[in-house]
Structure 1
Amino acid sequence: MKHVLVTGANKGIGFEIAKQMAQLGYYVYLGCRDEQNGTAAINRLKSEGLSNIEFLQIDVADLASVQQAAAKVPSLDILINNAATSGPKMQNISACDIAALKSTFNTNYFGVIQTTQAFLPLLKKAPLPVIVNVSSELGSLAMQTSRDRAVHWDNYHAYSATKTALNTFTINLSQELRNFKINSVTPGFTATDLNNFTGPKTAAEGALPIVRLATIGEDGPSGQFFRQEGEVAW
């Protein structure tokens, strides 16, 4: 049985990713900061007949927490870097609070990097190591500069900057680790607490492209950016 870690897995898209991966027969570590919330998520999944799940306490923005979590996992095949924050409002880049911007980067960018680095020794032992970085269309420079750019994107300048940086991390890491499958994936505009549940997609629908890229085989892509409809321009 392959082992997978999903960060930020106690709610929203992360919870649905964990659920769908468990339903496919993977052993899933539900990574989240709060033990009470994590336990509640585990109990919800167990009530649905899923037993191949385990709570793992991890705060991706806290290096000590990340290192402690990595020490508790015996093996890992797939890492899904899902934990993120939308950051505070306002996010207009000409006037946003710098401390808030740094805090958003600390979770969405630096948190992903230090989590990945901590679990790389385990992933390198896997027959086919896979990393999925959960990104956003807002991180696509091509879409940011498109004539079809959505007006509401102006509310997420800080958030989109972190996702652009995350996409760069995906590219660099995939070029360095050629025997891995490493991709960025956007769930699309999904109803979660990051956007006050305004997205048209359900969390279960948002999880689908992430699960698909997490379960690819030897012939699967690497170093690319995807959504449900297909590849996304960087």
Structure 2
Amino acid sequence: MTITLISGANKGLGRETARRLVLLGHTVYLGARDREEGARAAADVGGTFVPLDVTDDASVAGAAEFIESREGVLDVLVNNAGISGGHVPARETTADDVAKVYATNVLGIVRMTHAFIPLLERSAAPVVVNVGSGMGSLSVTTDPSRFESTLTGIAYPSSKAAVSMITSQYAKALPRFRVNVVDPGYTSTDLNGHRGTQTIEEGATAIVTMAAVGPDGPTGRFVDRFGTVPW
């Protein structure tokens, strides 16, 4: 049985990823800050809720202890929790605006990965999936043919660029792990006020695919549901 933890799994892409992985036979733990929403989502998809705030050391440590006590191992970690920080024009963006977004999108991934490496190392085929964005790609955001090139921002795009570099570095440092970053695409979620043009099902596809890779699967890759995304 594959033991999987997904952060930010009470709604949107996290919840849909949990639902799909349960159907694939994973034992899925849904991490969320909101206990009521998290417990409801877990019950709906057939998983187990674990209280989890990726910005809080004690919360992350508690989640690790909970899973260790129940399973003794973790096979797949999906770092999905993220915030947009709202639309703040570049010239008006402050350091505090950036720090707030980085606390979840960047430091949250480092905090989670650091805490769960010991459990992942007990797995025969450890996998880490970091949810990034095309908005974190220098190539995509400077390509006039791509919608992302029409958007500007400081906090969110740079945080997702950092996620890509974090992924690349962990992949090199942990050669037995499969560590990849995925771009769900412009998906209709709360993050973008449901302006996205993809369905939740379409957006979760790349996450599910990379969560299900085997020990011979790719690592250090940036992908979406169509294939490789340029850095």
Same fold (TM over 0.5): yes
1:14, 1:116 → 2: CA distance?
17
Which of 184, 187, 190 is matched with 2:187 structurally?
190
CA offsets 1:28-82 (integer angstroms, 9 cap, x no match):
000001111111212322xxxx3xx110101001111111111111221000000
2:114, 2:146 → 1: CA distance?
34
2:44, 2:26 → 1: CA distance?
17
8 Å Cα contact 2:187/2:197 also seen in 1 = yes
Which of 63, 79, 83 is matched with 1:85 structurally?
83
AA aligned to 1:104 is V
AA aligned to 2:66 is K
1:142 positional shift: 1.0
1:2-151 equivalences in 2 (<5 Å): 2-45=2-45, 50=46, 53-74=47-68, 75-90=73-88, 92-150=89-147
1:148 positional shift: 2.5
CA 1:208–1:149: 2 relative to 1, 3 Å: closer
1:222-233 equivalences in 2 (<5 Å): 222-233=219-230
Q: May I ask how many residue pairs the two structures share in their alignment? A: 226
1:60, 1:3 → 2: CA distance?
19
2:150, 2:9 → 1: CA distance?
26
CA offsets 1:109-151 (integer angstroms, 9 cap, x no match):
0011001100000000100100000000000111122223435
List 4+ stretches of structure 1 deviating above 3 A.
Answer: none
CA offsets 1:82-133 (integer angstroms, 9 cap, x no match):
000011221x333213212100000000011001100000000100100000
1:192 positional shift: 0.2
User: Matched residue of 1:94: which SS?
Assistant: helix
AA aligned to 2:61 is Q
Which of 215, 219, 230 is matched with 1:218 structurally?
215
C-alpha RMSD of matched pairs (Å): 1.2
Give structure 2 stretches of 5+ with no counterpart. Answer: none
8 Å Cα contact 2:181/2:222 also seen in 1 = yes
AA aligned to 1:22 is V
1:44, 1:72 → 2: CA distance?
21
AA aligned to 2:36 is Q
1:217 positional shift: 1.4
Normalised by the length of structure 2, the TM-score is 0.94
AA aligned to 2:218 is P
CA offsets 1:174-207 (integer angstroms, 9 cap, x no match):
0000111000001110000111101111111111
2:2, 2:32 → 1: CA distance?
20
Give structure 1 stretches of 5+ with no counterpart. Answer: none
Identity of aligned residues (%): 40
User: Matched residue of 1:133: which SS?
Assistant: strand
